[in-house]
Amino acid sequence: MIAVVLLISACAHRPQRAEAGEFVARQLQLDGMLHRYQVFVPSQAAGGRHPPVIVFLHGSGERGDDNILQTQVGLGPYLRRHRADFPALVVFPQTPPGQSWSGGNTRLALAALDASVREFGGDPDRIALTGISRGGYGVYELALAQPLRFAALVPVCGGITQSNVHEPLVVEGVATAPDPFAAAAQRLQHLPMWIFHGGRDEVITPDQSRHMVEALRRVGGEVRYTEFAEAGHNAWDPAYATPELWAWVFAQKR
């Protein structure tokens, strides 16, 4: 259970929604520490009274404490281009430098999600989780921590293990399993997934996503896989520009 969260900037009443979607800065205290995050709040016309919710987990390059970088790469730029009609509430937590989406940062992301759903009236039954690169690993990490919380997962150029990199990547929730891919698939098979990867990715190799797709299919999981044959590590721009992705995401319900 997440520790009690104190919203520093909470309002007594639900904020008025802008005519077009906008980013708003928020902060919370978790275990005595102050954390800042961003929320994309859709317009009333686009999102309705209880909009669907997306949690976006950034990659290694966007770690920090400025509360800006996590909106500059991945889903943030897409939202700025589609701010008038994107219908979802999107939560952008940020990890400190040198850290991954595990341990206290898993709890941070979930706390920011809880606070955003409460403040802006997000639909708790339509929460999707997506992330890029190190954040793609975080998608599995958060889903394993709360497997009944989400309606859909969209890992982009992520994976389960990857040791041959400067900062080794691993999903801690299954790190000690004999077959981490099989263990993750067994626990997450009930969750619809759409996985994306670049075929020429040399940072996180595409076999990470291929192995996960195979493991999910072996246990009967509902999984789609798109590999952009000519893309390198940046699979996020073409992934988030895939129109069918958003129709699929917003059709999912817990």
pLDDT of residue 5: 44
pLDDT of residue 165: 64
pLDDT of residue 8: 43
* Weakly modelled stretches of the chain, pLDDT under 50: 1-12
Please state the domain extents for the chain. Answer: 21-251
Q: Specify the length of the chain in residues.
A: 254
**CATH 3.40.50.1820 given to domain 21-251:** yes
pLDDT of residue 15: 65
pTM, full prediction: 0.92
pLDDT of residue 14: 60
pLDDT of residue 12: 40
159-182 pLDDT, tens digit per residue, is 999 766 667 799 999 999 999 999
